[in-house]
Structures are given as C-alpha cells and as structure tokens.
C-alpha cells in the first residue's frame, strides 16, 4: 500500500482535527514501511522522578500508529484505537524528546494492527514497545 498523505498533509490534519495536542508532535519521517514521530517533551509530560510519564508515552505510541494509518488511508478522522498493549522497558532520558517508530503489521478491511518502538532522542535502546489495533470506519 502506498503513502497517500505525506508529513505536511499529516501535520495539517493534526492541526485541523486535534489542535489541542498537535504542537506536541512532529512528524520526522513517512514512507511505505514506517512513520517516525517526535514528542516534544516538556515539563507537563514529566512525572515524579523527572521522567516522561506513562500516559505521555502511550499518547505518542497511539498518535504514531494513527498517523501511519492515515498516511496509507488518507484523512479518515474516525479510525479508532480498539486495543493497546504497552511494555515499559526502561526509564526515558530526562528532558529529552521521545521518538516513536510505527510499523503497520496488517492492514485489513476493518482492522489495522501495528507495532511502535519508543526511544529517547539520541539513544538506540528502546524505552517502550506498544502493539496497537485500530478499527476503520465501514465506508472508506
């Protein structure tokens, strides 16, 4: 399946449909195999212990898969998360942006299954891994 929405189109979509969080995320790379998105970590993303909170990491994984789906499907706002399992592997580097690399494992007619690896910027070791399933709206 080819890419139908590039980084600029995805950014515009986020700003139009999700203006409340759009500035938190920056699309670094989009192609037919993967999508990389950056969470611009700020103080509001931190938890006690000066590390990125679990909910912030979940949001990054969820947005990454959502954008990877839209990159292939087009601007379909009603694709929704139906399942997520996230493994927190190690503490992210303090005050460092997080990068999420999303890959689509199966793109079906009604469900999409994907995998996301989260890393601290500049560190090759994963800090979390998430598996997500999305439901697609019936008419596309």
Question: Quick one: average pLDDT of 97-119?
Answer: 97
Measure the N-to-C terminal CA separation of the chain; round to a whole number of Å.
Answer: 15
CATH number of the domain at 115, please: 3.10.129.10
Q: Supply the mean pLDDT for the chain.
A: 94
Model confidence band, residue 77 (pLDDT cutoffs 50, 70, 90) = confident
Domain-embedded: residue 140: no
Domain-embedded: residue 124: yes
CA distance linking residue 86 with residue 117, whole number of Å? 10
Domain-embedded: residue 67: yes
Structure tokens at 137: 């709206």
Q: Give the tens place of pLDDT for each residue, 15-61.
A: 999 999 999 999 999 999 999 999 999 989 998 888 999 999 999 99
Owning domain of residue 13 = 7-135
Model confidence band, residue 75 (pLDDT cutoffs 50, 70, 90) = very high
- Number of domains making up the chain: 1
- Per-residue pLDDT for 140 more than 70? no
Structure tokens at 121: 């910027």
Domain-embedded: residue 2: no
Answer for the pair 73, 79: CB distance below 8 angstroms, yes or no. Answer: yes
| 51 half-sphere exposure, CB direction, 13 A CA radius | 13
CA distance linking residue 58 with residue 130, whole number of Å? 8
């Amino acid at each position: 399946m080819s890419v139908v929405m590039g980084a600029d189109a995805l950014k515009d979509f986020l700003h139009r449909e999700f203006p409340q969080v759009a500035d938190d995320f920056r699309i670094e790379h989009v192609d037919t195999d993967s999508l990389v998105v950056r969470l611009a970590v700020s103080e509001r993303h931190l938890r006690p212990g000066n590390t990125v909170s679990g909910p912030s990491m979940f949001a990054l994984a969820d947005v990454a898969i959502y954008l990877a789906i839209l990159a292939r499907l087009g601007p379909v706002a009603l694709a929704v998360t139906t399942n997520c399992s996230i493994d927190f592997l190690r503490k992210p580097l303090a005050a460092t942006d997080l990068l999420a690399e999303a890959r689509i494992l199966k793109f079906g007619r009604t469900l999409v299954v994907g995998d996301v690896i989260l890393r601290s910027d500049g560190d090759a070791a994963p800090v979390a891994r998430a598996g997500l399933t999305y439901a697609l709206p019936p008419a596309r």
